[in-house]
Structure 1
Amino acid sequence: MTTAPPGPLEPLELPARLTAPPRLTQRHPWLLPAAMLVHRARRRTQWVRDAWSGRVVWAARHRTDDLPVRLKQHGSLLLRELDPDRMHLQHNKVTNLRLATSRMDGLVIAPGETFSFNRVVGNCTRRKGYVDGMRLSNGSADAGVGGGICQLANLVHWMVLHSRLTVVERSEHSFDPFPDRGRVLPWGVGCSIVYNYVDLVVRNDTDQTFQLRTWVGERYLHGQLRSDVRPDHSFAVEARGEQFLRRDGQVFRRNQIWRRVIDRRSGEQVGDEQVKSNCALVVYEPGPEIDVIDV
């Protein structure tokens, strides 16, 4: 992970999601199932309306042979050393990822088409073979059916960032739940997924065709982003301005995600784009190796 040194300390401005009063479902958890039904119905209505109007063409076609050009490849470690009492959830996650990757593998995103993670993977239910895995909710890790498929969404999003595909919708976690032990990707490029209304949505605004290949190996979740033509540019994605800040007894983490655009022929950088600015509440105790700044 490449991290540029932070610049002068700027005032800590917390995102609205961290300063807003608790949601009704947080104050009264028994309302959550009904709220989820409402959100899901609203999203289904949106899907149907977009399809009927022709405004959105959903990517749904798969092919078993590879498109010729590999744009990006990445492997994500399947099992992390966490609480021993919860390691069974890590192993169950692998089962869930096998099911989800089989739905994703080979998906083609043609010019003008839009990819929805939730539409492709579908609802992760016990009837489909999904089991209890680890899910992040309000900063804590809990057991839930289909838990762990966010790792697949993280992988897809990371590969998409290395292309000219357009991220239309992505919801990040409001919390930094685990220390960086063994982290490979920059903090702040992950995704939150809740069927069907918290989604990763990507649109192909180019004249290229893209393909996602995903599979589960012995130790890693693997992914490739492929294309029918080799583009003129490649991309390097990195975190900059990484900071841990303490305010009113709470620790927050923030950074920026940037993407350098590189000309494939010359190897020279021809662009520099800010992708995202992140800020989240840290829910673990930062170790002595982390410099926490009081603000």
Structure 2
Amino acid sequence: MREGMTPVPVRRRALRLWLGTRYFRARRWLWWRLGGVSFARRRTDPPCPYRCAAHATPLMRRFKDVDMWMQKNKVKNLRLAVARLDGMTLLPGETLSYWRSIGNPSRRKGYVEGMLLRNGQVVPGVGGGLCQCSNLLYWMTLHTPLTITERHRHGYDVVPDADRTQPFGSGATCFYNYLDLMIRNDTPHVWRLSLRVMDAELEGAWQCSAPQAFRYEVYEKEHRFQGEYWGGYTRHNVLFRRVFDMEGVPVGEEFVCENHAIMMYSPMLSEREQAARPQE
């Protein structure tokens, strides 16, 4: 699905999926090694005492027709991934790659079957649930001057907006290793990622070696639902962010991304029905 195009459900044969996955993974491995990019790594120095952006998301949500064991296994997977990401430090010019930092989420490394979204269906899969961490990291980064060099939107809108606190399309999907989230430090300062899996929430923060000069507000434009010829609905919007100085004076507006997703629920649900189904 390219930017600006209406998404259409696609069903690909298993062999094509298997071959495609291995081709794109091999290409990404080569790029990691030969692409000339300086990647972030875990460091304790220099200090980054300034907390510039922070966010938290609940670990357990009840989804219709989804067994809670997948949610519990997701927490196990998040703990393993967070242990690799916490403390990742970006010197000026360095890039953080979500998947290069975590590595392949395999059974051998202790990952278990969690919830995956595949072709519009919720299925169990080893390492499932790590999109919660990439969503959190993307949202936090939008509130910093760091540069997002790769991000992939979710192709499906899973649940209605009841109690949603972020605009539709403000997450980042991930699939090892070629659907990556990559963040480059184009500032003169050092940035460090902090992540923790608590009892009820996944918590994250970006720390910096210098105080932030600006703050950011992310919002949506051109939001719409659209009925499609194949019988379903799609959802669309464009995200922007306003930039303010630390005294609250607006200094600019920036385009963030364009989102198009197939809806897995009816937009005609009542408010009561929406409230009974939690957000993604």
TM-score after normalising by structure 1: 0.85
Question: 2:206 aligned with 1:238, yes or no?
Answer: no
Distance 1:82 1:239, change over 3 A: same
Structure 2 equivalent of residue 116 of structure 1 = 97
Q: Deviations over 1:82-135 (max 9, x none)?
A: 136511101110000011111110110110101100000111011111100001
1-structure distance, mates of 2:176, 2:27: 12
Quote the Cα distance in structure 1 between the aligned partners of 2:46 and 2:90.
Answer: 14
8 Å contact 2:7–2:260 — kept in the other structure? no
Matching of residue 150 in structure 1 with residue 166 in structure 2: no
Partner of residue 164, structure 1: 145
> In the alignment, what sits opposite 2:270?
288
Q: CA deviation at 1:268?
A: 1.1
Q: Aligned equivalents of 2:125 and 2:197: distance in 1?
A: 20
Which residue pairs with 1:227 in the alignment? 208
Alignment of structure 1 residues 167-246 onto 2, 5 Å: 167-246=148-227
Paired with 1:85 and 1:135, the residues of 2 have a C-alpha distance of 11
Three-state SS of the structure 1 residue aligned to 2:42 is coil
| Deviation by residue 1:229-265 (Cα, 9 ceiling, x = unmatched) | 012111111223322122323211111211110111x
Q: Is the contact made by 1:17 and 1:174 (CA closer than 8 Å) also made in structure 2?
A: no
Matched-pair contact (CA < 8 Å) for 2:195–2:203: yes
Cα distance in 2 for partners of 1:31, 1:39 equals 12
Q: 3-state DSSP class of the match of 1:259?
A: strand
Structure 1: how far apart are the matches of 2:47 and 2:219?
28
Counterpart amino acid of 2:18?
A: P
Pair 85,267 (structure 1): closer, same or farther in 2 beyond 3 Å: closer
Q: What residue identity is the alignment partner of 1:163?
A: T
Q: Map 1:16-165; keep pairs closer than 5 Å.
A: 16=5, 18-19=7-8, 22=10, 26-50=11-35, 55-63=36-44, 67-83=48-64, 85-165=66-146
Quick one: distance in 1 between partners of 2:45 and 2:115? 31
State the shift of 1:183 in Å. Answer: 2.1
The secondary structure found in structure 1 opposite 2:67 is helix
Pairwise CA RMSD: 2.1
Unaligned runs of 5+ in 1: 1-12, 291-295
Q: CA shift at 1:69, angstroms? A: 0.4
| Secondary structure in structure 2 of the residue aligned to 1:173 | coil
Determine the C-alpha separation between the residues in 2 that align with 1:64 and 1:180.
Answer: 41
Aligned residues of 1:64 and 1:106 also touching (Cα < 8 A):
no
Q: Distance in 2 between matches of 1:261 and 1:183?
A: 23
* CA positional deviation for 1:289: 4.4
Q: What SS is found at the alignment partner of 1:159?
A: helix
Q: What is the SS of the residue equivalent to 1:57?
A: coil
When normalised by structure 2's length, the TM-score is: 0.90
SS at match of 1:88: helix
Aligned-pair CA distance for 1:177: 1.5
Q: CA deviation at 1:208?
A: 1.2
Indicate conservation of the 8 Å contact 1:62/1:107, yes or no: yes
Please, which runs of 5 or more residues in structure 2 have no aligned partner?
A: 273-280
The Cα shift of 1:288 comes to: 3.0
The more displaced of 65-74 and 221-230 is 65-74
How far apart, in 2, do the equivalents of 1:254 and 1:35 lie?
A: 27
CA contact (8 A) 2:49 2:207 kept: yes
Q: What CA deviation, in whole Å up to 9, does each residue of 1:155-187 have, x standing for no partner?
A: 111111011111111111111122223322221
Give the secondary-structure state (helix, strand or coil) at the position aligned to 2:159: coil
Give the aligned partner of residue 277 of structure 2.
none
Helix, strand or coil: the match of 2:168? coil
From 255, 262, 284, give the equivalent of 2:244: 262
Between stretches 79-88 and 165-174, larger displacement belongs to 79-88
